Amino acid sequence: MDTRESILHNFESVRLALLLGLALGAGCSAQPRMALRNTPDSPPTAASARPVNLREPTAARTVAVTLDDLGATEESSAPEISTRILRALAAENAPVAVFVNCRALEPATLRLWQQAGATFGNHTATHLDLDAAGADDVWWRDVESCDARLRRELHERVSFFRYPYLRYGKTVEARAAAARRLADLGYTIAHVTAATSEWLLADYYRQALESDAPALAGELAAAYVEHMADTLEAAHDWAIQKAGRDIRQITLAHVNRLAADHLGDVLAALRARGWQFVSLKQALADPVYSLPDVYTGSCGCSWLARIAPALTRDDTYVFGEYEARIRQRFEQRVQALPKP
Ligand SMILES: [Zn+2]
């Protein structure tokens, strides 16, 4: 059994257990600790007091799949990675929006996504953090240079923008200034609701493959599927608590080897949970994304954390919580891998 077969074998074993758990609704989703509030303007009603199974799949469960960091690294710019991701999306008939860092972007790779009918977004040329970039125009030049390159190479208008690290500006003034200038460039902000930290699993997965550790790689792949399903379920529950209803969700993964190998498994697991795939444009048409952004700070968190009631210290449902859990589970074993 070569490395890849061995990974697949390990992954298949864990996946079977996982899918069984999903099918049984066996509580394999880790529940984020969320602050439940009864605000004065929303007293408990007879309807809300009735026990409701929020995990029951319904026809209303819709999600837009978005992938970030195309072109951020050599790996994410490799045509082979994109080809396999696009194949997985096509197999599930899932529309996709891809967010581009123009830095290491291969024109041939960009064309693969265009031929597949992907929606494009600007993610800055060098993945620059708005909060760290300071008050000068460095960040804007990064936005504008990627904008110019995308227009030149795609011959189409790119109308979505995603903030690197999901940092929207750490003060009210910085946030408003960025939003205004992006709107002037014709951009709509592509929010994210599911608090995924799969980039960390992808980093561990790459290291496991490089160190020829197929058992660990298989576990990481299964954890990826579980994580993508869990974070979406948590976003679904939180939307019902915060917005009072189901919303069109937006999930986030990245262009990397883990996605090339296993995004198809993620999409199949989501489909099995009753999720239907919609385009980013369809998702953003949900009025929840037109609510005011009342969060101020650098959390890099879900859109659900940014709408009222504002994020508080009690809200641990942000990206860091999942990230900490992934580190706790895998960090030591990854550190102990023999260096290739
Ligand atoms: Zn990014």
Q: Containing H/E element for 327?
A: helix 319-335
Domain assignment present for 224: yes
CA of 155 to the centre of ligand 1 (A): 23
Domain assignment present for 12: no
Helices H, strands E: what count in the chain?
14, 7
Q: At residue 49, what is the residue type?
A: A
Is residue 29 a contact partner of residue 234, using CB atoms and an 8 Å limit? yes
CA of 99 to the centre of ligand 1 (A): 8
Q: Tell me, what's the pLDDT at 314? A: 58
Q: Tell me, what's the pLDDT at 299? A: 85
Is residue 88 a contact partner of residue 263, using CB atoms and an 8 Å limit? yes
Domain assignment present for 136: yes
CA of 27 to the centre of ligand 1 (A): 30
What's the predicted TM-score (pTM) here? 0.82
Q: Tell me, what's the pLDDT at 71? A: 96
Domain assignment present for 188: yes
Q: Tell me, what's the pLDDT at 334? A: 97
Q: Tell me, what's the pLDDT at 316? A: 54
Is residue 160 a contact partner of residue 190, using CB atoms and an 8 Å limit? yes
CA of 6 to the centre of ligand 1 (A): 31
CA of 69 to the centre of ligand 1 (A): 5
pLDDT in tens, the chain (340 residues): 444 444 444 444 444 434 433 333 322 333 333 332 333 333 333 333 334 444 444 456 999 999 999 999 999 999 999 999 999 999 999 999 999 999 889 999 999 999 999 999 999 999 999 998 876 699 999 999 999 999 999 999 899 999 999 999 999 999 999 999 999 999 999 999 998 999 999 999 999 999 999 999 999 999 999 999 999 999 999 899 888 999 999 999 999 999 999 999 999 999 999 999 999 999 999 999 999 999 988 888 899 999 988 776 656 556 678 899 999 999 999 999 998 8
In angstroms, the Cα distances linking 9 to 206, 209, 214, 225, 270 are 18, 14, 9, 16, 21
Domain of 151 in residue numbering reads as 62-335
CA of 162 to the centre of ligand 1 (A): 8
Q: Tell me, what's the pLDDT at 320? A: 76
Is residue 34 a contact partner of residue 220, using CB atoms and an 8 Å limit? no
CA of 163 to the centre of ligand 1 (A): 8
Is residue 145 a contact partner of residue 179, using CB atoms and an 8 Å limit? no
Q: Tell me, what's the pLDDT at 317? A: 57
CA of 179 to the centre of ligand 1 (A): 18
**Cα 199 to Cα 205: distance, rounded to the nearest angstrom:** 10
Domain assignment present for 215: yes
CA of 326 to the centre of ligand 1 (A): 19
171: domain CATH number is 3.20.20.370
Domain assignment present for 29: no
Q: Which of 235, 240, 301, 233 is nearest to 42 (CA)?
A: 240
> Taking the mean position of all CA atoms in its chain, how far away is CA 189?
14
Is residue 101 a contact partner of residue 129, using CB atoms and an 8 Å limit? no
CA of 306 to the centre of ligand 1 (A): 19
**Cα 66 to Cα 89: distance, rounded to the nearest angstrom:** 11
Angle between helix axes 107-115 and 138-154 (nearest 10 degrees) is 60
Q: Which of 244, 254, 207 is nearest to 82 (CA)?
A: 254
Which tokens is 251 given?
């999930």
CA of 97 to the centre of ligand 1 (A): 13
Q: Tell me, what's the pLDDT at 313? A: 62
How many domains are there within the chain?
Answer: 1
Domain assignment present for 184: yes
Strand positions, DSSP E, 34-155: 62-70, 96-100, 119-122
Domain assignment present for 54: no
